[in-house]
Amino acid sequence: MRTIQKTYQFRMEPTREEEQRLLQFAGARRFVWNWALDRKRTHYKTHGKSLRYNDLAAELTELKSQPETAWLREMDSQALQQALRDLEQAFTNFFEHRARFPRFKSKKRDQARFRVPQRVVVQAGQVYLPKIGRVRLRQHRTIDGQTKSATFKRDAAGHWFVTLVAHVALPDWPLAVPTPETTVGVDAGLKDVAVLSTGERMPNPRFARRQERVLRRANRNLSRKQQASRKRGRARARLAQVYRKIANQRAAFLHQQSRRLIDRFQVVAIEDLNVRALAKSKLSRSFADAAHGRFRRLLTYKADWDRKQLVVINRFFPSSKRCSACGLVRDHLQLSDRFWRCACGVTHDRDVNAAINIQHEALRLLAGGCPESLNACGPSVRPATAGTMG
């Protein structure tokens, strides 16, 4: 047996009183974060060393007994302690050069959210939260496994969501032997989100492009509102609803396509795209709309759930320039060349040919006992045989 982690997100439908309590919990988390951050900075300037979590947790208990901060006793204790753990993790990420130095959280800019590590139960379309009670939610599926933690968050459109993390035990059955029939190569693009080695294409719906006119109108309406006015707040919420709709449409499309691939094939091979660099190019909006990074993440965890294999091909592998019939590499191939003819007489569709080459490379790597290609970059660490046929 093996244990995997699944995440479930449901939209909540709180009443006015329940929403006010949720905002109070979020405000208490923000207060504890700012208080703990100030204590750590002050203590370090005075004594030259930082306060740890246990020290802050003891001080938090004393803080609740003071008259000015006695209102903290009305909040869930584990949610307040989780804010201290989050701050400790933020400092760890900073010292390990994974994030910047933790900053104070503003009531205006910080998103209303908090996390409860235990005692949150979802049952019969309701979520039970300590110190608040049962809140209605849109439970569109059952939860498998044991729930470990719950994060409550309000988005820019004013909707509350609960995200539950559950651990599920699955049988650890062996991986199937890959064959050309059960292996598919996927070439990512902009006109088509993905082109398969079977010749199938996944057209790019371009959800953001379709909503450009609506976005411009919503942004123009927001810019005309007076600062800090109620109408500006409502205009900001309408703009956030448009972005939320685009995100939901894109997520639904990517979930459907990734599930279809994992159900049909035993091995899925994709390229290791440099998504961060593509997001800075002149086609950044188009790449962001295609969401190749999220598509890869969906394929990764769904393949792990179903005991399938996801093979990531080296980004320097010449998938488009190599002839899938004879193996000849055409050095001078422009991006505008959507079709090209090889010296062996075969005419290739650029995208389909790339997908077939990705499929062949994945089979070669799996036959050699390597589940994934090297993702090195730079002349000093790049393998000399990277991208060559075995």
Q: Has 187 been annotated as catalytic? A: yes
**Domain-located, residue 387:** no
Look up the CATH number of the domain holding residue 270: 3.30.420
Residues 147 and 193 in one domain: no
Q: Which of 18, 76, 271, 361 is catalytic?
A: 271
What is the Cα–Cα distance from 147 to 7, expressed in whole angstroms? 9
Instruction: State pLDDT tens for residues 286-323.
Output: 888 899 999 999 999 999 989 999 999 998 898 888 99
Q: Has 306 been annotated as catalytic? A: no
Q: How confident is the model at residue 341 (pLDDT cuts 50, 70, 90)?
A: confident
Q: Which of 18, 187, 289, 361 is catalytic?
A: 187
Range of the domain at 121: 2-170
Q: How confident is the model at residue 384 (pLDDT cuts 50, 70, 90)?
A: very low
**Domain-located, residue 376:** no
Residues 109 and 157 in one domain: yes
68 Cβ neighbours under 8 A, 6+ residues apart = none
**Domain-located, residue 161:** yes
Residues 95 and 197 in one domain: no
Q: 244-268 b/e with 16+ CB inside 10 Å = b? A: eebeeebeebbeebbeebbeebbbb
The order of strands in the sheet holding 201-203 is: 201-203, 192-196, 183-188, 267-271, 309-313
| For residue 110, pLDDT beyond 60 | yes
Residues 258 and 300 in one domain: yes
Distances (CA, A) of 173 to 2, 166, 308: 9, 21, 11
**Domain-located, residue 251:** yes
Residues 96 and 128 in one domain: yes
Residues 149 and 98 in one domain: yes
Residues 10 and 76 in one domain: yes
Provide the whole-model pTM.
0.83
Looking at residues 356-360, what average pLDDT do you find?
94
Q: Which of 18, 76, 289, 351 is catalytic?
A: 351
Residues 194 and 313 in one domain: yes
Q: How confident is the model at residue 4 (pLDDT cuts 50, 70, 90)?
A: confident
**E-strand spans in 251-338?**
267-271, 309-313
Q: How confident is the model at residue 173 (pLDDT cuts 50, 70, 90)?
A: confident
Specify the pLDDT at position 376: 39
CB-side neighbour CA atoms (13 Å) of 249: 16
3-state secondary structure of 384: coil
Number of domains in the chain: 2
Query: What would the two tokens of residue 124 be?
Result: 């019969």
Q: How confident is the model at residue 62 (pLDDT cuts 50, 70, 90)?
A: very high
**Domain-located, residue 255:** yes
Q: Has 86 been annotated as catalytic? A: no
Residues 6 and 116 in one domain: yes
Looking at residues 276-285, what average pLDDT do you find?
85
Q: How confident is the model at residue 369 (pLDDT cuts 50, 70, 90)?
A: low
